[in-house]
Amino acid sequence: MPVETISLHPEAHVQESLNRIENLLHTNSLQMTALMETMQRNNSPTSPTFQPSFAGNTPLAADSSISPSTFVHYPSPQYSMGISYSGVMQEHERLPPLTIPDKHSTSSNHLLLNPAIREMIGQYPSDYFLRLESKNEIPMQLQSQELSMAGYVDFDKPTTDALVTAFFTRVHCYHPILNRDEFEILYNSALSSGLAPGPDTCLCLVIFALGATAIEETIHSPLSGIAYMQKAMPELLSASTWSFSWDVKTSQALILASVYFSYLARPLYSWRLINMAAIHTHFLLPRLEALPTPNTILSREQITRCFWSCFMIESDRLAELEIPQSSLQKLVDHMPLPSFRSGSDDLETTYYLAEISLRRLFNRIHNSVYPPMMNLGGAGAGTFERDQLGKLFNICDELHSQLRIWHESIPEPFRPDLAGARIAVHDRERVLGVRYFAALHIIHRPFVLHAVAFEKTRTAGTTDENMLISEPILDKCRTCLESCRIYIRRATEMLKQPSPYTWTFSISSLGAVLVLTMAVHCNQLKELVPDIDELQNLVIEHVEPWATNHKSENGKELESSLEAAVGILKEIRRKCRIRNLFD
C-alpha cells in the first residue's frame, strides 16, 4: 500500500508513528502464519529437479485484509500504566515470535557448514565461534582474586568530568537509559562521599570505564577503561547475586557494563552481564503496575528502557551464538515501548525507538524464514521444492514490505539514506542504515543458497544441465548480493572507530563475504559480484585491528573469534585468487 511519509516533530507524533509500525508489522505477520504452518508441514527432503512457475506468487500487499478492527494495540507508556502478564492473545500464539529461535540457521557460523564453503576451507564445528569465546578467560585484572572493595579513592574531578562528558556524548545515544540531569546529581553526590561503595558509585565507575573506552577516536587498547571496571565489578557481582533491591541503578549498571564488553569485542562477557541485567530488570517489572502515576513517570520510563536495552543487546548475541535466552524474551510482545520524556533528547529517543522496532522485525525474520526450511549442513543444502519456493517468495516479499514500511515511517530528519547520497548526520543513523541492509540480505539469502545448491546438482549430473535458475529467483539473488555489498561498505565504516557494534558488525561482515563468495562460484551469479576481492580485502582490513588474541592466566595465547574470522577470510581470499588464475 502507499505509505505516507511522516515528517513531524518528534514527540507524540513519532510515538504514534512507531506504534503504527508495530501494528502494521503485527497485522502483516498474521498473513504469514498460514504460509509458515504449511511450510513446516512440508519440510521434507528437497528435490532440486524443477523449473518453477511463479504465477500467483505476487507479494502480499501491506494493506491486504487490514482494517482498524484488526489492529493490536501496543500501549504507550504515556497512556498505559502497566503491562499484563496473563491472558496472552490467541493471535500472538500463532504468530512468528519476536524472539530468536533456538538452533536457528542465520548465523555466520552456520554458513561455514554450507557444502560450497566446506569445499573451499574445510569443516568447522557448528559452534566454532562460541567455543573460541568460551575459552577466552576474563581479563586478569577482573578475576575474583584481584577484586577488592578496598582502595576506593577520590578520583581527579577534571578527569572524571571528561569521562562523563565522553560517555554522554558518544555512548549514551546507543542505549539512552539514563537521565543526564538525574545522573549529574548522583555523580556529584558520589564524588562528595569519596566514591564510597554502593550502587551510585558502581554506576559512576561503569560510566567512567565506558567514557575511557569511547574517548579514543581510533581503535583502542584491548583493555581500555579496565581500571574503572575493576573497581565496579565487586559491587556488580554482589548486587546481581545477593541484592533484591528495587533500585533501577543496578539494572542500569549491569546493562552499561555489558555495553563496555561490547566495546571490547568480548561477546560472551557482554551476554553474561546482560543476562544478569535481564534477571534484575524482570524482578523490577511488577513495579510498573505498583508505581503510582503522578510522581513516578521517570522511574517507570527507566525500567521500560532497561527492558528494551536488555532485549536488543541479548538479541545481538543470540543472533550469532547458540546461548540461553533470558526470561525477558518471553515478554517482548507485551511490553510498552519507551516514550518521549521530559529532559530526554528527541533525536536519541527517535533512533532508540526505531532500532527497537527493527530488532523486533529482525527476530521475526529469524523465525519466519530459516527454522522451518533451511538445512545448511545437508548434501542438498539450500534447495527448495516448487511449492516451498512459492511460499518462500510470499514470505520474503512480505518481510521486505515490512522493512520498507519501517524505513519510510521514520521521520525524515532521522531516516537513514539508503542511496548513500548524503553523509549521515549521526552515528545512530549510520547504524540504522547498516541494520537495514543486514535485514535485506538475510531476508533474501535463501535464494542465493538455493541458486548455489541448484547449480551444484547440475554439475553433479543429478539435474538437467540445460536447466537454468529462473529469472524471479535471480532477481531475489540480486537483491541479496547487492545488500551484502552495501552492508560490507557501511559496516566497515563503523569499524573504523570504537562502538558497541564492533563484534556484531565484524562477524556479520564475515557472513556477507561468505554469501558473496558462494555467489562468485555460481556461473549465473558471479557477474553480480565483480568486486569480490576488494570486498574481502575491505573486511580483512577493518576487522583485523580488532582481532587481538587473549592471554590466559598461565600466559598461553588464546585465539579470539574475530582472529579466527580474519583467518577464514584470508583463506577464502587465497582460494578465490587461485581460482581466478584458471578462469
At residue 551, the 3 state secondary structure works out as strand
Q: What's the rounded mean pLDDT across residues 348-370?
A: 91
More confident residue, 483 or 40: 483
In a domain, 126, yes or no: no
In a domain, 114, yes or no: no
Q: Given 3-state DSSP classes, what are the helix, strand and coil percentages for the chain, each rounded to the nearest 5?
A: 65, 0, 35
pLDDT > 70 in the chain, percent: 71
pLDDT per position as a tens digit, 388-420:
788 889 999 999 999 999 999 998 888 999 988
In a domain, 35, yes or no: no
Q: Which range of residues forms the domain containing residue 200?
A: 147-343
Q: What is the pLDDT of residue 559?
A: 86
In a domain, 409, yes or no: no
Number of independent structural domains in the chain: 1
Cβ atoms 219, 192 nearer than 8 A: no
Q: Look at the block and give the residue holding cell 524482578.
A: 283
Report the C-alpha gap between 283 and 379 in whole angstroms. 46
In a domain, 565, yes or no: no
Report the C-alpha gap between 219 and 163 in whole angstroms. 17
Question: Which of 85-89, 345-349, 362-366, 552-556 has the weakest average pLDDT?
Answer: 85-89
Q: Look at the block and give the residue holding cell 541494520.
A: 435
Q: Kindly tell me if the per-residue pLDDT of 42 is higher than 50.
A: no
In a domain, 78, yes or no: no
Does the reported pTM lie above 0.95? no
Report the C-alpha gap between 132 and 454 in whole angstroms. 33
Cβ atoms 338, 80 nearer than 8 A: no
**Which residue in 304, 305, 313, 301 sits closest to 271, CA to CA?**
313
H, E, C per residue of 244-282: CCCCHHHHHHHHHHHHHHHHCCCHHHHHHHHHHHHHHHH
Cβ atoms 510, 544 nearer than 8 A: no
In a domain, 260, yes or no: yes
Q: Kindly tell me if the per-residue pLDDT of 23 is higher than 70.
A: no
In a domain, 265, yes or no: yes
Distances (CA, A) of 309 to 162, 202, 281, 313, 501: 25, 19, 10, 6, 14
Q: What's the rounded mean pLDDT across residues 472-481?
A: 96
Q: Calculate the dihedral angle through the C-alpha atoms of 461, 466, 472, 477, rounding to the nearest 10 degrees.
A: 50
CB atoms within 10 A of CB 422: 8
Q: What is the pLDDT of residue 495?
A: 95
Q: What is the DSSP letter of 260?
A: H
At residue 356, the 3 state secondary structure works out as helix
Q: What is the pLDDT of residue 275?
A: 96
More confident residue, 41 or 68: 41
CB atoms within 10 A of CB 150: 7
- Residues with Cβ within 8 Å of 343's Cβ and at least 6 positions away in sequence, in order, are 179, 180, 181
Question: Which of 82-96, 284-298, 396-410 has the weakest average pLDDT?
Answer: 82-96
Local confidence band at 225 (pLDDT 50, 70, 90 cut-offs): confident
Distances (CA, A) of 547 to 108, 274, 465, 535: 16, 23, 43, 18
Local confidence band at 466 (pLDDT 50, 70, 90 cut-offs): low
- Residues with Cβ within 8 Å of 378's Cβ and at least 6 positions away in sequence, in order, are none
Q: Kindly tell me if the per-residue pLDDT of 180 is higher than 80.
A: yes
pLDDT per position as a tens digit, 303-350:
999 999 999 999 999 999 999 999 888 888 888 898 876 456 788 899
The chain-wide mean pLDDT, for the chain, equals 78
Report the C-alpha gap between 206 and 273 in whole angstroms. 12
